[in-house]
Amino acid sequence: MNPIIELEDLCFGYVPGELTLEHVNLTVMPGESGCIVGPNGGGKSTLLKLLLGLLQPTSGTVRLFGVAPDEGRRRVGYMPQYHLLDRVFPITVFEVVLTGRMNSWRPFWYGGEDRRAARRALDEIGLSQLADRSFSSLSGGQRQRVLIARALACDPELLLLDEPTANIDPGAEERFYELLEELRRRMTVLTVSHDLGFVNREVDSVICVNRRVVKHRAADFSAETADAVYHHHVGIIQHDHSCFCHCGEKDHA
Amino acid sequence: MLELWRELWMPELSFLRYALLLGLLASPVLGVIGTMVVTRRISSLAGASAHAALGGVGLALYLQRVFMWSFFTPELGAVLGALIAALVVGVVSLSASEREDTVIGVVWAVGMALGLLFLDRTPGYVDWQGYLFGNILLISPTELYLTLALDAAVLLPLGLFYNRLLAVSFDSTFAQLRGVRATAIYLVLLALTALTIVLLMNVVGIILVIAMLTLPAATSGFFARHLWAMMVLSGVLSAFFLTAGLLLSYFCRIPSGPAIVVLAGVFYLAALLLRRNRRG
């Protein structure tokens, strides 16, 4: 089996002489579900951008599905944080999801298959009743879920979710975790989270990013490893098969 | 109404007919480009481009009068000035190497200053106020044809690439991942914005043209649920503002540019208040 993501001795810096990420080696296999964690400013978003070919590494290589990122990224479903998007842009929920069907070789219009795929994706996240609503009229949590539907509409083999739980409405949280677990059975899912609260049930690996990148098997991920990543104490609560953590200050402990 | 119609066809009013026709022909472009300027938040970039157009006008008049380069018309100069300014600011904003608002301010002021210097050194009388505030007497039939050409240059690609434009305007990063050439679309958009600005230079003037690129679109933005609806509505509003403003200016003997802009501004404020009341 070939790896989906392969980073080899990758270094990256926005400013010469100052590396945001150094000597990163990382492999993610198909079907593996992982959680990318690390403190703010540790390089999580930078790592994502490098994976997606939005940034070029200073040295080292990135391979996505065995090819260059700008080639392989069409097989990726990407979900950004909703608050980075224009709040009042005139677009309906269905139109947002349809943009997931865009591709570089597409003729000019969406076809019936595209519409069906968009509808399926909306069904899956349970928002099909909102299809004709204006995107800007939704709550933050709903908007975030629509962006997941858009990522699903790509028929991705790898799903990249940037902070998916940060804005989910409290009531929808449980349902959302179920959805994620369902998706993990079908495809490779990588989630990014700035606090450890989301190192959750049944991920295979925890990828810690803080200038260096270290991958742990979720089973081995413990309070000590979290402390090492964050350079200060991190509280961890074990809870059935999951491990909920929160990042605390030193003197808090 | 009938009298108004009859009066419009008087031979000595050909300048007003040209202006009205130009306004109607420019409306589709204004609807599309205005909507893009508003939704992609590049109105200050458009402002810089408009003011830099004066630099081109000044250079053109100077070259025409001093070096007898008669082919170098003020309109051609304006196109050059506006295009260069828009692309410079656009490239800077893409590379994020400098502060974008600073670069906009610099291009804005320096472009205009260069224009004023050239105009000062240009021998003979120059109606520079006409370029700043609009002078419909300067409109020629050539400009009507150019407007038609710009309509085609904007509407045909729009029909073909609407979905791409929608994807890239809503979420440029995501669209790029899906294989849309976001940078190319952005630069084409800037170029078309610059051309639209020059087109309206004689009707509303360099200083006020930014209002026509923002007010109709912003007003429609309060009501539209789709990007295309915002474009259509703002095109219709543009046609109305330009026509009503020009007639108002002729019959009340007030300058055309300010008449059009104030009218558009009143509608914008009314829509804003309406919207707020409905929400509150």
Give A206's Cβ-side CA count (13 Å radius): 29
Please give the mean pLDDT across all residues of chain B: 89
CA B225, B229, B235, B238: dihedral to nearest 10 degrees?
-20
Is there a contact between B164 and A102 if contact means CB atoms under 8 Å apart? yes
Over the stretch B104-152, which tens digit does the pLDDT of each residue have?
999 999 999 999 999 888 888 888 888 888 787 778 888 889 889 989 9
Residue A220: count other Cβ atoms within 10 Å of its Cβ: 10
Contact residues on chain B for A150, CB-CB shorter than 8 A: 174
**Given this model, what pLDDT does residue B81 score?**
93
SS3 A170: helix
Q: Which residues pair with A215 in a beta bridge?
A: A207
Contact residues on chain B for A154, CB-CB shorter than 8 A: 178
- Rounded mean pLDDT, B84-92: 91
Over the stretch B205-222, which tens digit does the pLDDT of each residue have?
888 889 999 999 999 999
* pLDDT surpasses 60 at A20: yes
Q: Which residue has the higher pLDDT, B90 or A249?
A: B90
CA A87, A93, A96, A100: dihedral to nearest 10 degrees?
140
**Given this model, what pLDDT does residue B243 score?**
93
**Given this model, what pLDDT does residue A245 score?**
38
A150 touches chain B (CB under 8 A): yes
**Given this model, what pLDDT does residue A235 score?**
44
Residue A19: count other Cβ atoms within 10 Å of its Cβ: 18
Contact residues on chain A for B176, CB-CB shorter than 8 A: 54
A134 min Cα distance to partner chain B (Å): 6
Contact residues on chain B for A88, CB-CB shorter than 8 A: 221
A37 min Cα distance to partner chain B (Å): 22
- Rounded mean pLDDT, A82-90: 86
* pLDDT surpasses 70 at A183: yes
Please give the mean pLDDT across all residues of chain A: 79
Contact residues on chain A for B221, CB-CB shorter than 8 A: 88, 90
Whether the CB-CB separation of B17 and B176 falls below 8 Å is answered with no
The pair of structure tokens assigned to B44 is 């200050």
**Given this model, what pLDDT does residue B214 score?**
94
**Given this model, what pLDDT does residue B272 score?**
92
Confidence tier at A201 by pLDDT (50, 70, 90): low
* pLDDT surpasses 90 at B1: no
Is there a contact between A74 and B177 if contact means CB atoms under 8 Å apart? yes
Q: How far apart are CA A187 and CA A184, in angstroms?
A: 5
**Given this model, what pLDDT does residue A249 score?**
31
Q: So what's the ipTM on this one?
A: 0.85
Residue of A79, A89, A101, A146 to mutate for B, most B C-beta atoms under 10 A: A89
A65 min Cα distance to partner chain B (Å): 15
Is there a contact between B227 and A91 if contact means CB atoms under 8 Å apart? yes
- Rounded mean pLDDT, A166-175: 70
Q: How far is CA A160 from CA A140, B76, B133, in A?
A: 19, 49, 52
**Given this model, what pLDDT does residue A181 score?**
82
**Given this model, what pLDDT does residue A198 score?**
54
A250 min Cα distance to partner chain B (Å): 37
A223 touches chain B (CB under 8 A): no
**Given this model, what pLDDT does residue A243 score?**
35
Lowest average pLDDT, out of A22-26, B135-139, B169-173, goes to B135-139
Is there a contact between B170 and A110 if contact means CB atoms under 8 Å apart? no
* pLDDT surpasses 80 at A227: no
Q: Which amino acid is residue B215, in one-letter code?
A: L
**Given this model, what pLDDT does residue B73 score?**
86
SS3 A81: coil
Q: Which residue has the higher pLDDT, A248 or B66?
A: B66
B278 touches chain A (CB under 8 A): no
Contact residues on chain A for B230, CB-CB shorter than 8 A: 90
A134 touches chain B (CB under 8 A): yes
A107 touches chain B (CB under 8 A): no
**A133 DSSP 8-state letter:** S
Q: Which residue has the higher pLDDT, A233 or A67?
A: A67
